[in-house]
Each structure stands twice: as C-alpha cells, then as structure tokens.
Amino acid sequence: MNRYKLTIEYDGAPYAGWQRQKDQPSVQGALETAAAAIDGAPVDVYGSGRTDSGVHALAQIAHMDLIKDIRADKVRDALNFHLAEAPVTVLGAEIVAQEFHARFDATAREYLYRIIDRRPKLALERGRVWRLPVKLDADAMHDAAQALVGKHDFTSFRDKQCQSKSPVKTLSELTVSRAADEIHIKAKAPSFLHKQIRSITGTLAEVGIGKMTKRDVADALAACDRTQCGPVAPPEGLYLVKVSY
C-alpha cells in the first residue's frame, strides 16, 4: 500500500466546503469518489485543513492510501480523468512515507484574499473576488493589519461555530497591498480559526473605507468580543495559496 501526497486546485463555489458532507457536495467527497474508482475500494482523503463553502484553493495538500501499486503521475492523471466534470484538479501526486500526514505535519498555511474596489459590476471575476464599489486605502489597511500580527486571543475574529479548542493563534504575517484595481490581503500562520481571515478582511475593509482606525482594530482584538469586529467578508475572495511542511 502506497501513501500519496496530492496538490490540489479547486473552485469552491459549487461545494459546501472541503469536508465530506452527507447531503451536500464537497471537495473531499469528489476526490474520494475519484480515488475509489481507481482503487476499486473506498478511499479516505485527508486534507491539510478545511476550507469553508465557496472558498477556493490554489494548492491544497492532501494525502491518501491506495491498495493498488500505481505510479504517482498515473494517479494524478487517473484522478483528473474521474474529476473531468468537477472544478477540481490534481496538480501533482507523489509517493511519501507512511508517517506523512497532510494536516498534522503542516507547519504553516498561507491565504490570499482578493478585493476589487470599483463601482462597475464584475463580469469576468464574478465569484472569484469581493467587489466593493468604493476605493480603499490599502496603506491604512496594511498599517492597521500590523496590530493583529503575533500571538493573540482572536476571539473577536472567531466564528461562533468554531470548534478550535483555543482562540489563541499566532499570525506570523499579515500584509495588504494594491495590485492595479485589486487589494490583496495575505495571511500566514501555523493554523487559523474558523472564518478568522474573513473576519479580519471585513474589519480591514472598514479601515480602508475610513469607518475604522488602527486603534479601533487593536481595541477590537483586545475586547475578545465577536461583536467588535467588522462584517465578515464573503468566501469567494479567499484562496488557500500554500501549505508548508
């Protein structure tokens, strides 16, 4: 039996998230169906972490075990054959040690949130970014973001349904920059709370509009009160970019 490490790209729009669901489509479920077709038996696919409904991935990492001895590149191609109708692509597959675990061995996860700040509606990027019809001050957003970098109690930026045992997380990087008519928010940490990045993004957008200041962001963090953060940004602008091991 071989263990395979998979690098996966997907459009999260049609799915109820990464995690397998009983009555809704999921990315994990699509991969497991494809893997079972290859192996001739049920296959469990383990991801580096869950992404919410509507969230995309450029390089999600997962692992699975197959009974059949198949070359890694053949596994990649076979999975993509069975995923032909799904917005899920296996970019790469490699055989790894049996001890490798996509989730527990990960040391860092990096996300990108894309905002387009323009008044005209979206045509080509619909479902891929968050459109705000007013110009945002990216410099002010970046400055305010630095109040969140480091080890903190992120209760104010944690979804009520979050299952993490502790609200304390270490945000190692949080940057905001402009790329033409887009605002890019990049976040890096060993792990994140449920909807933490989307909550942070919504709060920083309030700074970009001028409704909040850096001090307001710091106060919201210190309050450990969910009602003190800004609105939660929608999922379609969020991408899992990289998982480090």
Q: For residue range 19-35, list pLDDT tens digits in order.
A: 998 899 999 999 999 99
In degrees and rounded to multiples of 5, residue 75 shows phi and psi of -65, -45
Residue 163, pLDDT > 90, answer no
Task: Please give the Cα distance from 129 to 17 (Å, whole number).
Answer: 17
Model pLDDT, residue 114: 98
Q: What is the pLDDT of residues 59-115, one digit of tens each?
A: 999 999 999 999 999 999 999 999 999 999 999 999 999 999 999 999 999 999 999
- pTM for this prediction: 0.94
2-96 matches 108-244 in fold: yes
Q: Considering the domain 108-244 in this protein, what is its CATH number?
A: 3.30.70.660
Model pLDDT, residue 81: 98
Cβ atoms within 10 Å of 198's Cβ, excluding its own: 24
Q: 2-96 architecture in CATH?
A: 2-Layer Sandwich (3.30)
Handedness of CA 223, 170, 149, 162 (dihedral sign): negative
Which of 26, 34, 92 lies closest to 62 in space, CA to CA? 92
Q: Where are the domains of the chain?
A: 2-96, 108-244
Model pLDDT, residue 26: 97
Model pLDDT, residue 17: 94
Task: Please give the Cα distance from 75 to 78 (Å, whole number).
Answer: 5
- Is residue 151 helix, strand or coil? strand
Model pLDDT, residue 215: 97
Structure tokens at 181: 């008519």
Which residues are paired to 88 by β-bridges?
10
- Which parts of 146-195 fold into alpha helices (H)? none
Q: How confident is the model at residue 199 (pLDDT cuts 50, 70, 90)?
A: very high
Residue 48, pLDDT > 90, answer yes
Model pLDDT, residue 78: 98
Catalytic residue numbers?
A: 52
Residue 168, pLDDT > 90, answer yes
Say which DSSP state 167 is in.
S
Residue 160, pLDDT > 90, answer no
Residue 106, Cβ density class (10 Å: 0-12 exposed, 13-18 middle, ≥19 buried): middle
Q: How confident is the model at residue 144 (pLDDT cuts 50, 70, 90)?
A: very high
Model pLDDT, residue 162: 85
Model pLDDT, residue 161: 84
Cβ atoms within 10 Å of 29's Cβ, excluding its own: 18
Residue-wise burial string across 48-59, b where 16 or more C-beta atoms lie within 10 A, e elsewhere: bbbbbbbbbbbb
Residue 142, pLDDT > 90, answer yes
Share of the chain above pLDDT 90, in %: 95
Q: What is the mean pLDDT of residues 105-130?
A: 96
Residue 180, pLDDT > 90, answer no
Which of 170, 172, 198, 194 lies closest to 185 in space, CA to CA? 198
H or E element: which one contains 5? strand 2-10
- The backbone region for 150, taken as left when phi is positive above 0, alpha when psi lies in -120 to 50, beta otherwise, is left
Residue 8, pLDDT > 90, answer yes
Mean per-residue pLDDT of the chain: 96
Strands 108-117 and 130-132: parallel
Model pLDDT, residue 68: 96
